[in-house]
Amino acid sequence: MQDQPILVIGATGKTGCRVADGLEARGLPVRRGSRRSATPFDWEAPDTWAPALRGARAAYVTYFPDLAFPGAVEKLGSLCDTASDMGVGHLVLLSGRGEHHARLGEEVVRNSNIDFTIVRAAWFAQNFSEGYLRDPVLGGVLPMPGGHVVEPIIDIDDIADVVVAALTEEGHRGALYEVTGPRLMTFADMADELSQATGRDIRHLPISFEEFHANIAQAGGSFVADVFTAIARETLDGRNAHTTDGVMRALGRPPRDFADFALEAARTGAWKSAD
């Protein structure tokens, strides 16, 4: 079994690259699944699924861009069928906290005939340093809707550590780990922490969901904006305003604080301007 690779779907993504690196650091064979990898994997090309899954003993499953996109849950079901046919023994699914479609995806994996672990994650801290909010942060603003809603934002490194543990250690099969950071924060709190870490004046800019939609549409088009605005409306309503013990249960340690994430990201140049 140890000679069989672990497939990491979305290996060029925020969590996937960290999971692949973490597995390789443990000396395990990894098959990096992406559209341009040696053994390609493309959610839009089902003929790539079986070759990517063939011979793999386990797989880390992320759906890009999000399980809320039309057809995503159905594709996940087809992937589970293919994984079963290929003899894959364990699936670890990345799910989204408070998202209706993500819950539907979880049920698909639960109802497959494959051992599973579900990692249901809070909002990513790295959205500020690697995602679509990096440029606004560089500009000194954090434009987000949701008013004064609080969120237990999580460091992606914690998510990756939980996934690696689930894929390599005993005792995680059948588990649901809802993973959050250690404290509740408003977006204004996050802006303050980013200001302290970067030495820049960064402030939260409260915006409407309509303005949020317009910002995303400018970068990614109206269809993408429609989906992500629907997710924001769904999840930034207070339903996720509590912390969980998922990281502690999976790893035996508390999750990292947002302040520690911000300081480390600043130290490694995440917000260094191009000029």
112 in Cβ contact with 84 (< 8 Å): yes
pLDDT digits (tens, 9 = 90+) for 251-260: 999 999 999 9
130 in Cβ contact with 268 (< 8 Å): no
Distant-in-sequence, close-in-space partners of 74: CB < 8 Å, separation ≥ 6: none
Q: What local confidence, expressed as pLDDT, does residue 1 receive?
A: 58
Residue with tokens 């959610």: 43
The pTM of this model reads: 0.96
Q: How confident is the model at residue 220 (pLDDT cuts 50, 70, 90)?
A: confident
Average model confidence (pLDDT) across the chain: 95
Q: How confident is the model at residue 144 (pLDDT cuts 50, 70, 90)?
A: very high
Residue percentage of the chain with pLDDT more than 70: 99
Mean pLDDT of 132-160: 94
Nearest Cα to Cα of residue 93 among 84, 80, 82: 80
Mean pLDDT of 55-73: 94
Domain layout of the chain by residue ranges: 6-121
Q: Using CA of residue 14, residue 228, residue 34, residue 115, what is the dihedral sign?
A: positive
Decide if pLDDT at 104 tops 70.
yes
Residues 180 and 26: their CA atoms lie apart, in Å, by 25
E strands present in the chain: 6-9, 30-33, 58-61, 90-96, 115-121, 141-144, 176-179, 203-206
What class, spelled out in words, does domain 6-121 have in CATH?
alpha beta
Residues 12 and 140: their CA atoms lie apart, in Å, by 28
Decide if pLDDT at 32 tops 70.
yes
Burial 226-262 (b: 16+ CB within 10 A, else e): ebbbbbbebbbeeebeebbebbeebbeeebbbbbbbb
Nearest Cα to Cα of residue 151 among 95, 98, 114: 98
Please report, for residues 27, 177, 209, the alpha-carbon distance to residue 250 in angstroms, rounded to integers and kept in the order given: 21, 7, 35
Q: How confident is the model at residue 275 (pLDDT cuts 50, 70, 90)?
A: low
Amino acid residing at 173: R
Q: How confident is the model at residue 3 (pLDDT cuts 50, 70, 90)?
A: confident
